[in-house]
Amino acid sequence: MSNLKQFIGAEQPRGPRGEWTGEEAVFTRFLQGLDSGGPGEREGFEAVWLALRRVLVGELKRRSLWTLSPAYVGIYGSASWADEEAVEELVADGFAFIFVERLRSLKAHLRLKPNVEGLIVRSARNFLQEAQKRHDPVGFRVFTVLRGAVRSAVAAGALHVVEGSSAVRRDTVLAFHAGAAARPGELAAEARSWNVDLLPDLITARGWEVRPLMARVEKLLLRLPAQGFPVFRFQDLVDPLRLDVRMRWRALWTSAQGEELPQPGEDDRLVMARIAVPARSLEERESFRSLLNCLEEGIENLAQRAQSKEYLRRLQMFLRCYAADAMPAPAGEELPSRRRLADLLGIPRDRLPDLFTTLQKLAEVCRQGAGKALP
């Protein structure tokens, strides 16, 4: 099996930073060679695999996901991307998303285009975006809210793009005065302090609640010049903020241990912790991911009041974060107390037992493979 060095090797075309350039049209030639009903072995499969791997790894790095747990994009059971199997699993997932599920669409465009390399790269980005949105809801939410607030400030003329994409990407440099020099300051400490004001709304706001939340973020943004940050790079703001949110959640779990022992009747939290921790065996990884997906779908299909479903969504999101961040710790011992969980998720404490029970039942149904036939 190829390792990391092989796929970044010199035998494949690459740009100055090792990114995929598409010069040899590997993807296009591969697709052109595919015939329905043809032999299973196809020319260029290996080359496509390596090229796709390079695209995905490049994109992980661009999104600052490379140093985080693979669970943030749905690859469970590996602590880091140094685990070769995790990368291979990601490529397999990406291959399914791009070539297997969207084969008809790719072939359609190939009828009018000589080259679909750009389309494949864009599809790989869509794949990772979707995976992160689903498996790292906290990080994705922070990024989305912050980006929305920054774009709103730019549209209002309060902020100016001095470098990079005007659509505000990670490497966009922004300034409060159009002529400011592009020397971004170090604002991690300031960004982290925002969470005192923004949590838990930053994570739990939905629908119409999001715009007021963005307005609050925008107010915090406008205080930056007075605090000595007239210029900043977007990723320097979003990364510490996102990291801090994750750390706060993680701190809650670890500090909860021994702080408040489970009370009689609270054992269901321990059961949920067991649900949320994926097993390490290869087969169980797959079924764990299916379980999370089934839980998500099951909540949407439940015949419950909208508010209850919203609480269940938050709990489900919490479990995903727990699964991603608390992987190495023993199962069932790190969940925060109900009081802290209720504060964290903005859920009335007395509702938690019923919600846990519902989730537990859903998990049982999902494990029996009947996720779509939920009550």
Partner 1 sequence: MKRRDPQERSRRELDEALTRYGSERDREAARGPEPWPGDLFVLAETAEFPVEWLLVERGRQGRCLIVAADANPILGCADVAVPPEASGGPLSVRCDVGLQIGIESLRRGERTGSLAANDLDRVRRLRAEVAAGGVPDPKLGAGGEPDPSYEDWLAEIVLPARAALLPVAKEEPGLAFRRARKGIAAAAGLVLFLAVCGVSILAWRFHQGERQARQEVSRLLEESRRREAAYRRELESERQRLEAAYQKELAARRIPTPGSEAGRPLANLVYASFYPGASRGTVRELAAPPGTTYLFLLFYVGHRPLSVEYRVDVEKGAGGAIWSLGGLHLLPSQEVSVALPRAQVPDGAYRMRLYGVSGKERQDLGQFEVRIVSQLSHLPDR
Stretches 118-126, 156-164, 183-191, 293-301: which one binds partner 1 (CB under 8 A)? 118-126
Give the SS3 label for residue 202.
helix
Whether a cis peptide bond, with omega within 30° of 0, leads into 278 is no
Q: Which amino acid is at 32?
A: Q
In the structure encoding, which two tokens stand for residue 169, read together? 């990407």
Torsion of CA 239, 244, 245, 250, to 10 degrees: 130
Toward partner 1, which CB reaches closer, 58 or 94? 94
102 binds partner 1 (CB under 8 A): yes
215 binds partner 1 (CB under 8 A): no
171 binds partner 1 (CB under 8 A): no
Phi-psi sector, 57: left (phi>0), alpha (psi -120 to 50), beta = alpha
Q: Are 279 and 288 in contact (CB under 8 A)?
A: yes
Q: By CB under 8 A, how many residues form the interface with partner 1?
A: 51
Q: Are 201 and 141 in contact (CB under 8 A)?
A: no
Taking CB under 8 A as the criterion, the residue among 49, 72, 288, 311 binding partner 1 is 49
Nearest alpha carbon to residue 334 among 346, 322, 321: 322
E strand spans, the chain: 160-163, 173-175, 231-233
Taking CB under 8 A as the criterion, the residue among 89, 190, 236, 244 binding partner 1 is 89
Nearest alpha carbon to residue 323 among 256, 272, 357: 272
> Considering all CA atoms of the chain, what is the largest pairwise distance in Å, rounded to the nearest integer?
67
Taking CB under 8 A as the criterion, the residue among 51, 119, 275, 363 binding partner 1 is 119
For residues 345 to 374, the per-residue mask of contacts with partner 1, x marking binding by CB under 8 A and - elsewhere, is ------------------------------
Angle in degrees, CA 313, 316, 317, rounded to 5 = 85
Toward partner 1, which CB reaches closer, 92 or 329? 92
Stretches 101-109, 233-241, 290-298, 367-375: which one binds partner 1 (CB under 8 A)? 101-109
Taking CB under 8 A as the criterion, the residue among 5, 157, 208, 350 binding partner 1 is 208
Minimum gap (Å) between residue 89 Cβ and partner 1: 6
Taking CB under 8 A as the criterion, the residue among 38, 157, 179, 264 binding partner 1 is 38
Interacting residue ranges for partner 1, rule: CB under 8 A: 34-38, 40, 42, 45, 49, 88-89, 91-92, 95-96, 99-105, 107-109, 111-113, 119, 122-123, 126, 129-130, 144, 147-148, 151, 167-168, 206-208, 210-211, 214, 281-283, 285-286
